Structure 1
Amino acid sequence: MPILPDTRPPSELEIDAFLAAFEAGTLPKEEFTHAGHLTAGACYVHMFGEANAISHMRLCVRRFNEAVGGKNTDISGYHETITVFWIKALAAVRATHPTLGRAEFAAHAVQSYRNRRDVFRDFYDFDVLASVEARRSWIEPPVKAILAANL
Structure 2
Amino acid sequence: MTDHEIRLFETDAAVVHVGDGLIACTLPRPEWTHEAHLAACLHIVRDRTDLRPETDLPGIIRRYNESVGGVNDDHQGYHETITQAFIAAARAHLAERPSGERLVDSVNALLVSPRGARDWPLHHYSRDLLFSVTARRGFVPPDLKPLP
Q: Same fold (TM over 0.5)?
A: yes
Q: CA deviation at 1:112?
A: 1.9
Q: CA deviation at 1:115?
A: 6.8
Matched, 1:90 2:90: yes
**What's the % identity of the aligned pairs?**
32
CA distance in 1, matches of 2:21, 2:48: 19
The match for 1:146 is 145
SS of residue in 2 equivalent to 1:139:
coil
Give a deviation string over 1:6-41, Cα, whole Å, max 9, x none: 4x6432322232222222222221211111011001
Q: Which runs of 5+ in 1 are unaligned?
A: 1-5
Give a deviation string over 1:52-83, Cα, whole Å, max 9, x none: 22223212211110011011112211000011
The match for 1:125 is 126
- Does structure 2 conserve the Cα–Cα contact (< 8 Å) formed by 1:34 and 1:114? no
- Does structure 1 conserve the Cα–Cα contact (< 8 Å) formed by 2:23 and 2:64? yes
CA distance in 1, matches of 2:119, 2:22: 22
The match for 2:57 is 57
Change in CA separation of 1:59 and 1:117 when aligned onto 2, cut-off 3 Å? same
TM-score by length of 2: 0.81
Q: Which runs of 5+ in 2 are unaligned?
A: 1-6
The match for 1:108 is 109
SS of residue in 2 equivalent to 1:146:
coil
Change in CA separation of 1:48 and 1:25 when aligned onto 2, cut-off 3 Å? closer
Matched, 1:26 2:30: no
Q: CA deviation at 1:48?
A: 4.7
The structure whose residues are more often helix, as a share, is: 1
Number of aligned positions between the proteins: 140
CA distance in 1, matches of 2:39, 2:16: 11
Q: CA deviation at 1:113?
A: 5.0
CA distance in 1, matches of 2:14, 2:131: 34
CA distance in 2, matches of 1:114, 1:89: 6
